[in-house]
Amino acid sequence: MHRIVVLGAGYAGLAATVVLSARLKRTDGVSITLVNATDRFTERLRLHQVAAGEQVADLRLSALLAGTGVTLEYGWVTAVHPAARVVRLDDERELGYDTLVYALGGVADTTRVPGADEHAYVLDGRHDAELLARRLAHSGGSVAVCGSGLTGVEAAAEIAEQHPQATVTLLGRTEPGAALGPAARRHLRDALRRLGVRVRTGVEIVKVLPDGVALAGSETVPAETVPAGTVLWTSGVRATPLATVAGLAVDTAGRIVTDAALRSVSHPEVYAVGDAAAIEQGYGMLHGTCQSGMPTGVHAARAILAVLAGHEPPAFRFGYYHTTISLGRGDAVVQFTRPDGAPRRICLTGRLAVRYKETVSAAPWPTYGRMKRVPGTGSVWPRGGRYTR
């Protein structure tokens, strides 16, 4: 029995699982096990909505994978032992594998700034988002969102819209939407202003306090503290330390370094996908999004199938297609991009962008359902060229 174990049922891990199950369902001698903390699928694209107190769909892995032959194991992964090819869970269970798909994703990097780990909320999962929602529901006042990237922008806009009595401040080094084209960036800036979000850029956060955020000073600007009853940390992502402790080759962020087929360069029986992988493309390092995460999972499945059939696995290629940003429930911006992520001239704003963004956000779950029914995935994902849609 060739044992395939997938760690993590996020966008990438679940994509790998459903493609493998569709292709291997009637194959003797191969087993597929998916390990996840709970039965619930976390829509990371909607965690900012959960944090603002909104209700989102309750999606269950067991319902999606019913009839596929995949074994679901619930628990937290505490160790990976590549030499023995064993995974250990928090209840001391051990799962052996012949092929491992490592899809444990990343978490907010609260280690770089003192106080962030103790005093700031994060959006690493649904539980974290629900904790923040309860805090916001029972305490208005001021909210500081640390990090002016896409997660910070979406969270600041959603919180400001759902809690208009709160004062929301977005803090970051760069301008929100800095990678967008001029029209999209202008619309984003106007939307934040309309929602009452105070934007502070060019700042360096040096400490998170119980009641605020300390900013560094300079020769011309004195150090100051931005008062905040609630702090949300969205500045930077790091991988969990499991891969490093296991002795897998990792980069400085703790992500598993892969070859062209998404195999670990130090342990080729381990495939790394999504935020857990350091994947080099011609234009640079892939950055973690649902847009790129699902294709890495699909490709890892294709590579595993190729190896099982005695063939060389294909190389992974990916090109970005768009950047989608929600600005509350009634507004959004969609920037279409070149494969390397550089903005094209075309963008969508307002209600049209909302409809587009909602279609994209809702698409992964039904796509998994189509994948598991298709023997092979040619009608869902292209077999050649770049994965862009």
Residue after which a domain boundary falls, among 212, 233, 254: 233
Say yes or no to pLDDT of 379 above 70. Answer: no
- Count structural domains, the chain: 2
The DSSP symbol for 276 reads G
* Domain co-membership, 103 together with 135: no
Cβ atoms of residues 36 and 74 within 8 Å: yes
Shared domain check, 225 and 121: yes
- At 373 the three-state DSSP class reads helix
> How confident is the model over 322-327, as a mean pLDDT?
96
Which is it for strands 86-89 and 77-81: parallel, antiparallel or unpaired?
antiparallel
Name the pLDDT band for 374 (thresholds 50, 70, 90): low
Q: Work out the number of other CB atoms within 10 angstroms of the CB of residue 215.
A: 19
Q: Are residues 66 and 88 in the same domain?
A: yes
**The pLDDT value given to residue 362:** 82
Residues 245 and 103 in one domain: yes
Please state the separation of Cα 228 from the chain's center in Å.
27
Over range 243-248, report the average pLDDT. Answer: 97
- Asked if residue 379 is part of any domain, the answer here is no
Check if the beta carbon of residue 353 is closer than 8 Å to that of residue 333.
yes
| For residue 140, pLDDT beyond 80 | no
- Residue at 221 is within a domain: yes
Tell me the residue range of the domain where 159 lies: 116-233
Binned at pLDDT 50, 70 and 90, residue 386 comes out as very low
Label residue 366 by pLDDT band (50, 70, 90).
Answer: confident
Report if residue 340 sits inside a domain: no
Instruction: Locate 288 and state its tokens.
Output: 């973690």
| Predicted local confidence at residue 38, as pLDDT | 96
Q: Output the CA angle 238-244-249, nearest 5 degrees.
A: 105
Tell which of 210, 233, 256 closes a domain. 233
224-242 burial, b at 16+ Cβ within 10 Å, e below that, comes to: eebebbbbbbbbbbbbbeb
For residues 9 and 136, state if they share a domain: no
Same domain? For 224 and 259 the reply is no
Query: When comparing pLDDT for 229 and 381, which is higher?
Result: 229
Question: Which tokens sit at 176?
Answer: 């929100």
Q: Are residues 211 and 293 in the same domain?
A: no
Is residue 47 domain-resident? Answer: yes
CATH number at residue 129: 3.50.50.60
Nearest to 147 by CA among 90, 186, 205: 205
Residues 156 and 223 occupy one common structural domain: yes
Contacts with 272 (C-beta within 8 Å, 6 or more apart), sequence order: 101, 102, 103, 243, 255, 256, 258, 262, 263, 264, 278, 279
Q: Which residues of 105-122 are buried (b: 16+ CB within 10 A; e: fewer)?
A: bbbbbbeebebbeebbbb
Q: What is the pLDDT of residues 285-309, one digit of tens each?
A: 998 778 899 999 999 999 999 999 9
Q: How far lies 337's CA from each of 17, 39, 162, 270, 302, in Å?
A: 29, 35, 30, 32, 26
Give domain status of residue 81, yes or no.
yes
Per-residue pLDDT band for 368 (boundaries 50, 70, 90) equals: confident
Q: Which residue among 200, 218, 233 closes a domain?
A: 233
Each residue's pLDDT tens digit, 173-227: 999 999 999 999 999 999 999 999 999 999 999 999 999 999 998 777 789 999 9
205 and 85 in a common domain: no
Question: Using an 8 Å Cβ cutoff, are 236 and 147 in contact?
Answer: yes
Give the model's pLDDT for residue 370: 82
pLDDT averaged over every residue in the chain: 92
Classify residue 98: in a domain, yes or no.
Answer: yes
pLDDT at 375 over 60: no
* 229 and 247, same domain (yes or no): no
Which pLDDT tens digit goes with each residue over 73-116? 999 999 999 999 999 999 999 999 999 999 999 999 999 999 99
* Residue 383 falls inside a structural domain: no
Is it the case that residue 385 has pLDDT exceeding 60?
no
Is pLDDT at 267 greater than 80 in this prediction?
yes
Residues 153 and 212 in one domain: yes
Regarding whether 138 and 99 lie in a shared domain, the answer is: no
**Is the model's pLDDT at 389 over the cut of 80?**
no
Q: Tell me, yes or no, whether 162 lies in a domain.
A: yes
Model confidence at 382: pLDDT above 60? no
Task: Name the pLDDT band for 27 (thresholds 50, 70, 90).
Answer: confident
**Cβ within 8 Å of residue 352, ≥6 positions away:** none
